[in-house]
Structure 1
């Protein structure tokens, strides 16, 4: 059996004992959400399973609610697995050593600022004019 990963397609059958109200609700969801029905249903399934895990192992998890009023990009950033791991490391550090400065490991890649090539126009005629007009110090009074 292969491992479950995000984005993997799974399928299942509804039990014969599924209540009519649940079937009706599924029909309503399908007609309301159209092509997004499966993503809505999968998010509900994941949420339900997550709640079940929290009930089974309440001491292994700290639940921090996502603040209201954040953008969808910020929400996706907080839901990213790597960002959650980083936040977890920061919290662990603050709990164990609250008086020490937090240091993050250096990344393998260094990000260097992208320099603009040249922000001025290079024109030989303009350069020659500027040199003759403004940079010619031969006429200075050297008395």
Structure 2
């Protein structure tokens, strides 16, 4: 059984024989640019790759129905918006809540919606002379 990793432990990485030339060129550029800090740069890339792989499991990508402007994209990339949208989608999927479909309302005719009382009838008969003399 091998020893567990700990901060400061030296590790050796052997490049496979089928490493693409683009990767080799990128490593050469990185070594030229970083010099003695090459191992730190490689570990940064390694950490970024491992962290992105672990967070990919917790992410969901949703296609949007249309293109966004630069301002809209910037707004969606704010930490607060990302949290709010994440919570919204999570609760939309996870929360069990009863779904009640709207009941069909029967159309009431105009005569059935207007109701009169005896008070109204008396008032109308006193106000208007209905006698045909």
TM-score band by shorter chain is: 0.3 to 0.5
TM-score by length of 2: 0.42
Larger Rg: 2
